A and B are shown apart, each in its own frame.
Chain A
């Protein structure tokens, strides 16, 4: 549905996006994750035809955004970082105007505008001026504007920015409900949002893609090793060495101790799932098993790990 190849965008002095390649399948929700200034907005602006790329190509809904911009734009809904509202127009007037320039036929316009207002829950402010709306409403009117013409592709730049927790949940539900018949790219720097809404994540930093995977896989893959947390009861001093003898275990650390229970963090090399063996050992030794869970790195940790990684100094020529 969306195919981006070797996309590069250079400004006069900086390269905002460098050699970005990815594809999004029909009906998928792709999360675009990265610190501010990583190139998320630039990539989205290229995909929506707002600006051309310096190099590379982007195909949206089967149309190259540079060669057939109008066809691609007809099939794309876009919510920019700040909702593009006209302050002097009422919500209804605004959506009606957007419907006209998006090419919604005259006789469907009213129904589409009403439908979009319904879905984004802005119908109660339909006659208020856009300039007088609260941030939450502005964001949702922006979303209504994006879905108005029922586009195949939705590109949402930080759709939940500025919303209160209840609205965030509602908006996420709305976005999820639209996956399936829409293909969605959304950018965010709120990490839980990605794991809750997206099927796949691209982490981008300094204009380059540093990782692409499902949130779960990403968590798993980027852990250099697997981590387990186990808490056992009535364990003696030999508990630690017994755990260390398990196959694949690289490190055992005692983390906490209370009421006779001792907590251990066990690190194993990648691909070793020792939970069964671990349980067997505990039972054989006659200890009580209080807790056993895998304690992976959170998405936050991975994100920080990926985006703050120190790079070896590059040799400068000339």
Chain B
């Protein structure tokens, strides 16, 4: 455990010692802020329309019309940002030769992988924390339900975990950061759009494709539902990603 934390700590320090973390956090805050603004304007307009239509007594649900689409759209930004976080994890160590330090130290491959995973996840959590500032404004001026917000964040965290595990795997296979980043982005996008064909395919394909889609599993979290089906999907996805990374590192070692 000490080794895992040492590596996670080192990873996090590397993000924050270089401009990576600051650029990512800053840009993310900016983009998310714009999303927030856009949805807020839309929401206010919808509320006013409802009022004019004589339903003054009723208010539009903040959770349904504001927070849920906001969190769902936050995943779009993740799609672009997470490859930038994960692309350096292994590629940089390989290129700079520090991989030799890690692999000749008394730590296991798994400890290194989990440490890196936690490090990246912590940066990702910091990003989510930035969004929480915006969302908490809604609690100040409105009266949303907090439970769906929490499940929504849990969903985001799990979704990001999946992306990070894929990112680690891709990064462990190349010395080139650009290649790692681009390939990770490709895989993410594929996992994203895989459900698009669902509507035009037969029942079997439809089921498979929907199950594979990384975003389909997020919707229930955004609605405030924690379904074990989705938990199992995300957790097994992450485990499998980390397992494949371990295999990739090990096979690299054998090939030399």
Verify B97–A84 contact, CB threshold 8 A. Answer: yes
Contacts of A73 in B (CB 8 A): 104-106
**How many Å lie between the Cα of A52 and that of B106 in the bound state?**
15
Chain A positions 193 through 224: 1 when the CB is less than 8 Å from some CB of chain B, otherwise 0:
00000000000000000000000000000000
Contacts of B96 in A (CB 8 A): 84-87
Chain B positions 101 through 128: 1 when the CB is less than 8 Å from some CB of chain A, otherwise 0:
1111111100000000000000000000
**Is the C-beta of A174 less than 8 angstroms from some C-beta in chain B?**
no
Verify B97–A101 contact, CB threshold 8 A. Answer: no
Verify A80–B253 contact, CB threshold 8 A. Answer: no
**How many Å lie between the Cα of A85 and that of B97 in the bound state?**
8
Verify B103–A50 contact, CB threshold 8 A. Answer: yes
**Is the C-beta of A110 less than 8 angstroms from some C-beta in chain B?**
no
**How many Å lie between the Cα of A311 and that of B174 in the bound state?**
39
The chain A residue sitting closest to B108, CB to CB, is A70
**Is the C-beta of A191 less than 8 angstroms from some C-beta in chain B?**
no
**Is the C-beta of A78 less than 8 angstroms from some C-beta in chain B?**
yes
Chain B positions 7 through 39: 1 when the CB is less than 8 Å from some CB of chain A, otherwise 0:
101100110011000000000000000000000
Smallest beta-carbon distance B56→chain A, Å? 58
Number of A-B contacts (CB under 8 A): 80
A positions within 8 Å CB-CB of B:
9, 11-12, 16, 42, 45, 48-52, 70-71, 73-74, 76, 78, 80-89, 93, 97-98, 100-103, 145
**Is the C-beta of B57 less than 8 angstroms from some C-beta in chain A?**
no
Smallest beta-carbon distance A110→chain B, Å? 15
The chain B residue sitting closest to A77, CB to CB, is B104
Residue of A42, A80, A145 with most partner-chain B CB within 10 A: A80
Verify B3–A101 contact, CB threshold 8 A. Answer: yes
Contacts of B2 in A (CB 8 A): 100
User: 28 A–B contact pairs at CB < 8 A?
Assistant: A11-B256, A12-B255, A16-B256, A42-B256, A48-B104, A49-B104, A50-B253, A52-B253, A70-B106, A70-B107, A73-B104, A80-B104, A84-B98, A85-B98, A86-B14, A88-B18, A89-B10, A89-B13, A93-B13, A97-B6, A100-B2, A100-B3, A101-B6, A101-B102, A101-B106, A101-B107, A102-B105, A103-B106
Contacts of A81 in B (CB 8 A): 97
**Is the C-beta of B100 less than 8 angstroms from some C-beta in chain A?**
yes
B positions within 8 Å CB-CB of A:
2-3, 6-7, 9-10, 13-14, 17-18, 96-108, 253-256
15 other A-B residue contacts (CB within 8 Å) besides A11-B256, A101-B107:
A16-B256, A49-B103, A49-B104, A50-B100, A52-B253, A52-B254, A70-B107, A73-B105, A78-B100, A84-B99, A86-B14, A88-B18, A101-B7, A101-B102, A101-B106
**How many Å lie between the Cα of A97 and that of B101 in the bound state?**
11
